[in-house]
Structure 1
């Protein structure tokens, strides 16, 4: 950062400006926002200097916070489910203090519902999609929320997707990530056609969508694209899902579709070698603690998780654990959803998607603890890092 970007800082007579900026870049957002009142130059630095925003993001702890999606049940007044995206510390969840999370103050909470759902989190921004179905056309808009700043953007330009004949589900999958080469945040939509999947991209702040790719692969599963190292990653079928006989799908048909946001190209990554049987319905990907993880339910009796130790290197797949449903103290009818890991990665929290509560599992000590949530479902969780990135 050049000297002219931060001239006349109040402490410049005591400490060098560069040191003052380095100190400020390591301060939590809540305190930093209060420091804007110190002077006009500090306010300008904290609120409007893009180099300082990047420096603060670089120095912010990367595995401390979480966006947790909590379903509080049916809203009797509006006849709709009350689902909240809540910004919280992971340690609160790991300490089994769910009540303090559910009762978070309004400024750290965003209400979502069946027509308004998360697409992903990246660099302090959370992307939400709202949709409206009109006949056979799905109209979607996207907004960006920074819970640390308590700011949310206006709606993006509309995206229109035609439903496929006879298919009641949405023919699209979504992802949200950051292209460092252009300093751009991008929403990616993959739309299944009768023969190929097409990819459309919207860059935050722009007024249009553009089509970038067409190919036969199609992502599956309930989770959106997982952002890691400049790429979005989905578990996918190796050809168009519309042409599959699902009764014949095996592990050999599954790949990881990895989209490079800078080059706008893709490649296929292999799943761990030696897999014999994997259920497509109960398998998926999740970025946990900065690593791409592949998890699945094996033969209806065990939960299995693998971790790619070096992203993009298929030989680096390592099985973290395999644990029986009996040891989890849980009769699983639906897949578990990993929410987060501890800082050292030894402990993982998993939502029980067909029951109230979650599971805290220390895979090093093989110890299981249950989280009770007082009749509230934990739907999902996403890693979150505090930032000053403006959701515009």
Structure 2
């Protein structure tokens, strides 16, 4: 059949075809026509269908977003990771200095000047400014925060904690909650918490932080008005002097201990239910020199089959992905295939980092 005589597809067929494509292809196809551009970048129904299709096919890809001073996205699943800088994509950001506060559903929460919040989709370049809190100013002392999504209500929510003062000039800790559905902030008071982590880890619509008292505090984003924090204990025998404790999310909550004083290693526990922990694995770094594995202040991300973290290698940092071995023991010399390193000179961002899914959704 001659190409000029090919029958045209009904308009309703195009979204069904396009929602089966990966994000990279969809971004390219925004240049095909105005209708494609509008459908792919501006239609929330299409974005949800594309996300659901990708999740059903288990084809959602994860990237690591780093900023500031420059915003860069690192593809953690490309074969190029560890071999060249092609795993790193530079992103355009309309601001000089942004700080990452969390990610959910492909959307990243960023803050400017400690009080101006934006939702950002790094995959599409979409930005949305949140309304300012009442009385917000650059002098606000933000303590910790978090970000999540409630699918049943189609509502993105932001939690941020600040120091405030009573009429008697007493210092108190207040929590603020933003709802994208209501487009408003609510403020509530609660007892001061000695939270050690700044960014909340999202699991099952609940944000988690660890404290200096070997506890985890949790905030359920689905709460309405009568806001409360709940607490649970960290695994026993977790702390040794000099060890670094971090939380990591996913389908379940993980606690990561990076031990550096004796035998360098990473221990990971998974929460099976609140207050109940199971040790998931232990990664021992036996490749010489042992001082190679001195951990930096970067975060650790635990995923289904690998973990990503930063190490100090003599005179520079490297971003490292380790594929989980079946026996839980990592030896750099014996099994170098477990290691994929992206040298720090290939990454031009030295600030915070967030793991996010590469998808079309928007707030």
Same fold per superposition (TM over 0.5): yes
Retained in 1: the 8 A contact 2:217–2:229? yes
- What displacement does 1:236 show? 2.1
What's the counterpart of residue 261 of structure 1?
221
- The correspondence of residues 41-56 of structure 1 with structure 2, limited to 5 A, is 45-56=39-50
- What displacement does 1:382 show? 2.3
Residue 284 (structure 1) aligned to one of 246, 270, 287: 246
- Structure 2 distance, partners of 1:386, 1:375, is 21
- What displacement does 1:99 show? 1.8
Matched, 1:389 2:361: yes
What's the counterpart of residue 135 of structure 1?
none
- What displacement does 1:152 show? 1.9
Retained in 1: the 8 A contact 2:173–2:192? yes
- What displacement does 1:189 show? 0.6
Retained in 2: the 8 A contact 1:192–1:218? no
RMSD: 3.7
In structure 1, list runs of 5 or more residues that go unmatched: 1-9, 71-81, 132-138, 164-169, 238-252
What's the counterpart of residue 307 of structure 2?
348
- What displacement does 1:129 show? 0.8
Query: How many corresponding residue pairs?
Result: 328
Partner of 1:55, secondary structure, is helix
Residue 147 (structure 1) aligned to one of 114, 118, 122: 122
Partner of 2:199, secondary structure, is coil
What's the counterpart of residue 176 of structure 1?
147
Q: Is the alpha carbon distance of 1:95 and 1:232 closer, same or farther for their aligned partners in structure 2, counting shifts above 3 Å? A: same
Q: Normalized against structure 1, the TM-score is what? A: 0.69
- What displacement does 1:226 show? 1.1
- What displacement does 1:127 show? 1.2
What's the counterpart of residue 227 of structure 1?
202
Q: Normalized against structure 2, the TM-score is what? A: 0.74
Q: Is the alpha carbon distance of 1:386 and 1:358 closer, same or farther for their aligned partners in structure 2, counting shifts above 3 Å? A: closer
Partner of 2:256, secondary structure, is strand
- Structure 2 distance, partners of 1:200, 1:85, is 27
- What displacement does 1:153 show? 2.4
Residue 304 (structure 1) aligned to one of 251, 260, 266: 266
- Structure 2 distance, partners of 1:335, 1:62, is 31
In structure 2, list runs of 5 or more residues that go unmatched: 1-7, 165-169, 333-338
Q: Is the alpha carbon distance of 1:374 and 1:34 closer, same or farther for their aligned partners in structure 2, counting shifts above 3 Å? A: closer
Q: Is the alpha carbon distance of 1:116 and 1:41 closer, same or farther for their aligned partners in structure 2, counting shifts above 3 Å? A: closer
Q: Is the alpha carbon distance of 1:39 and 1:160 closer, same or farther for their aligned partners in structure 2, counting shifts above 3 Å? A: closer
What's the counterpart of residue 64 of structure 2?
67
- The correspondence of residues 193-232 of structure 1 with structure 2, limited to 5 A, is 197-204=173-180, 208-221=184-197, 223-232=198-207
- What displacement does 1:350 show? 1.0
- Structure 2 distance, partners of 1:281, 1:196, is 30
Note the alpha carbon deviations across 1:165-210, whole angstroms, 9 max, x for none: xxxxx45111111122331212211124667532101234766421
Retained in 2: the 8 A contact 1:94–1:360? no
- What displacement does 1:291 show? 3.6
Matched, 1:124 2:106: yes
What's the counterpart of residue 91 of structure 1?
77
Note the alpha carbon deviations across 1:196-250, whole angstroms, 9 max, x for none: 53210123476642114523324213x411122211111124xxxxxxxxxxxxx
Retained in 1: the 8 A contact 2:243–2:259? no
Retained in 2: the 8 A contact 1:357–1:378? no
What's the counterpart of residue 366 of structure 1?
330
- Structure 1 distance, partners of 2:33, 2:204, is 37
Q: Is the alpha carbon distance of 1:278 and 1:178 closer, same or farther for their aligned partners in structure 2, counting shifts above 3 Å? A: farther
